[in-house]
Amino acid sequence: MEIKASMAGNVWKITVQQGEAVEAGQDIVILESMKMEIPIASEEKGILKEWKVQEGDFVDEGDTIAIVE
């Protein structure tokens, strides 16, 4: 499953490392947009297989942030 950005912003903080287990609803990354912090959560339980971004990257709404399987 692809985790996508819900809005445009900078990747402020990655909270889960590649290879870690995640729960449905668990925040995995925090975006910063207009001085607000926007947490992005995994929609499913699984393993975070791959990050498509790094801290400091800019993402647009709909961009893939990570892959959870």
pLDDT digits (tens, 9 = 90+) for 4-58: 999 999 999 999 999 999 999 999 999 999 999 999 999 999 999 999 999 999 9
Give pLDDT, residue 8: 96
Backbone phi and psi for residue 16, each to the nearest 5 degrees, phi listed first: -130, 140
Give CA–CA dist 23/34, Å, rounded: 28
Whole-number pLDDT of residue 37 = 96
Backbone angles phi, psi at 23, to 5 degrees: -100, 155
Given pLDDT bands bounded at 50, 70 and 90, which one contains residue 66?
A: very high
Looking at CATH, the fold of the domain delimited by 2-68 is given as OB fold (Dihydrolipoamide Acetyltransferase, E2P) (2.40.50)
pLDDT of residue 42: 95
